[in-house]
Structure 1
């Protein structure tokens, strides 16, 4: 991350991706900037973590082994409604066509980034959503 728009100190991130290299990379990079990061490699694992960790921002791969990121997002949104909170969400996907991006936005993702991940773009997206989270 060449430019660090803000310190991520105190920000709680949940990174969901079945690629362990991706989760490790993102965890280390955001932790170096002060975030608290927990990772999951499946939707079911992410749901368990989400219930007790309550992230400010969820970074989620769309293609997961047990269910897709859209299904996971629907479940997290139901939990958010029950708990009266808002989780900001970023989709990561290897699908780069416009209709994939549109579908993600319609599903409720606030940001859609394609793989391979541009770390500066991801940092900016997290920063943008973290600032929204402060006013939620």
Structure 2
């Protein structure tokens, strides 16, 4: 296994979660290593940000106040088609059943992590998706 330190310099991330502590924790984790991180508290706010920010990776809670993360990702995928781009996505959820994970993958998420968030797992997941993004 490659033990090279992960680098997020220049990576654009959008974190969508209605919990302020989660948004702050994830932001700090990636900003300290050079990523540009914007946050949103709802799906509607996230869509507004995506129109001009165009993140490389979306980190999204499934349970949001206005609509769920599945619906948000479907809208992001439609925008991607219109704009000719690919947004990689990580689902965050307190749901831990296999069916929930499968539903997230069917909705288009490439990674599914359960809460409470393991920061090492999240960093690895973002790194993996960022590597895919380079070849998109």
Same fold, TM-score > 0.5, yes or no: yes
Partner of 1:93: 93
Name segments (4+ residues, structure 1) moved above 4 Å: none
Displacement of 1:6 in angstroms is 1.8
Which sections of structure 1, spanning at least 5 residues, go unmatched? none
Deviation at 1:4, TM superposition (A): 7.5
Measured after TM superposition, the shift of residue 46 of structure 1 is 0.2
Counterpart residue number, 1:132: 132
State yes or no: 1:82 paired with 2:68: no
Deviations 1:50-97 (A, max 9, x none): 000000000000000000000000000000000000000000000000
Write out per-residue CA displacement over residues 19-38 of structure 1, whole angstroms, 9 at most, x where no aligned residue: 00000111011000110000
Question: CA 1:72/1:4 → structure 2, altered by over 3 Å: closer, same or farther?
Answer: farther
1:3-23 CA distance string (max 9 Å, x none): 874210000000000000000
CA distance in 2, matches of 1:97, 1:4: 33
SS in 1 for 2:77: helix
Where structure 2 has 5 or more consecutive residues not aligned to the other structure, the ranges are none
8 Å Cα contact 1:15-1:38 kept in structure 2: yes
- Report if the CA contact (8 A) 1:42-1:66 is conserved: yes
